């Protein structure tokens, strides 16, 4: 029997455009999704159908007006919508990894430090964290001469791989992947596919968006189709 990891029930998310006569866009309506440990569910659908909105809601970046997002871990369960703030923060800091296609880092911090930081935060010894970061950067084909530099001047694909290294360095029970392979070449896409499949083997529950068919077919246990279900109420005037 599969072990439930993420249980989304009757989730609704409406954006209210306060600067546009309070027009309301309902992007998610009574949405349901169950993800088991070790399972990768891929979200598929036309642009604007709400895939990223769901991922951001699962990470708690967007507040949903209705429903439940229940995370099961360490013999406990937490509903992201109703849990007190300290529990939400703990969940995000230690259990849920959100990896987008965009790198967002503090300027002038070296790549190696950025990648090893999640391990240090988890209490891993410095030497062990450095070695793990070096190994992962090598796997992701980031040349050694770049490790001491800030990634802010790196190419789009290099930045994305630094982001992936930081997102995958610490095993995590929940992974939310928003187009992590968007600007990668085929060799590096293959590396990321292997990382995702290794995370599944370790029991991570994964929800991802991948427009690349090869990646999708290589990692998906299940594909969830998003219909363009945008519901608008109110009037938008020019």
Binding site for ligand ATP (CB under 6 A): 15, 25, 27, 45, 47-53, 230
Structure tokens at 128: 């062990």
Q: Which residue's CB is nearer to ligand ATP, number 27 or number 142?
A: 27
Supply the minimum distance, in Å, between the C-beta of residue 54 and ligand ATP. 7
**3-class SS at 89?**
helix
* Ordered DSSP codes for 154-169: S-HHHHHHHHHHHHHS
Buried b (16+ CB within 10 A) or exposed e, 87-125: ebeebbebebbbbbbebebeeeeebbbbbbbbbbeeebe
* Ordered DSSP codes for 48-83: TSSHHHHHHHHHTSS--SEEEEEEEETTEEEETTTS
Q: Which residue's CB is nearer to ligand ATP, number 52 or number 159?
A: 52
Please name the residue that has the structure tokens 């309506």.
29
Q: Which residue's CB is nearer to ligand ATP, number 27 or number 69?
A: 27
31 beta partners: 11
Q: Which residue's CB is nearer to ligand ATP, number 131 or number 217?
A: 217
Nearest CA to 211 out of 179, 177, 175, 164 is that of 179
Supply the minimum distance, in Å, between the C-beta of residue 180 and ligand ATP. 13
Q: Which residue's CB is nearer to ligand ATP, number 173 or number 180?
A: 180
Supply the minimum distance, in Å, between the C-beta of residue 27 and ligand ATP. 4
Supply the minimum distance, in Å, between the C-beta of residue 132 and ligand ATP. 31
Supply the minimum distance, in Å, between the C-beta of residue 53 and ligand ATP. 3
Q: Which residue's CB is nearer to ligand ATP, number 173 or number 208?
A: 208
Supply the minimum distance, in Å, between the C-beta of residue 226 and ligand ATP. 6
CB 229 within 8 A of CB 50: yes
CB 209 within 8 A of CB 201: no
């Amino acid at each position: 029997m599969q072990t439930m990891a993420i249980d989304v029930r009757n989730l609704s998310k409406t954006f209210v455009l306060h600067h546009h006569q309070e027009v309301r866009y309902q992007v998610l309506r009574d949405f349901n999704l169950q993800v088991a440990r070790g399972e990768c569910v891929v979200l598929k659908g036309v642009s604007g159908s709400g895939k990223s909105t769901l991922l951001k809601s699962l990470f708690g970046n967007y507040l949903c007006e209705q429903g439940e997002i229940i995370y099961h871990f360490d013999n406990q369960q937490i509903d992201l919508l109703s849990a007190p703030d300290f529990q939400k923060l703990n969940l995000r800091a230690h259990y849920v990894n959100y990896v987008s296609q965009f790198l967002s880092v503090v300027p002038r911090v070296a790549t190696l430090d950025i990648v090893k930081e999640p391990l240090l935060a988890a209490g891993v010894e410095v030497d062990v964290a450095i070695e793990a970061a070096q190994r992962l950067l090598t796997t992701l084909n980031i040349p050694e001469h770049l490790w001491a530099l800030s990634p802010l001047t790196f190419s789009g694909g290099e930045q994305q791989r630094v982001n992936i290294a930081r997102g995958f360095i610490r095993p995590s029970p929940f992974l939310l992947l928003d187009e992590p392979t968007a600007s990668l070449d085929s060799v590096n896409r293959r590396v990321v596919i292997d990382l995702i499949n290794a995370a599944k083997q370790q029991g991570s529950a994964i929800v991802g968006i991948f427009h690349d068919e090869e990646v999708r077919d290589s990692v998906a246990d299940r594909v969830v189709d998003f219909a363009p279900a945008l519901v608008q109420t109110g009037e938008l005037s020019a």
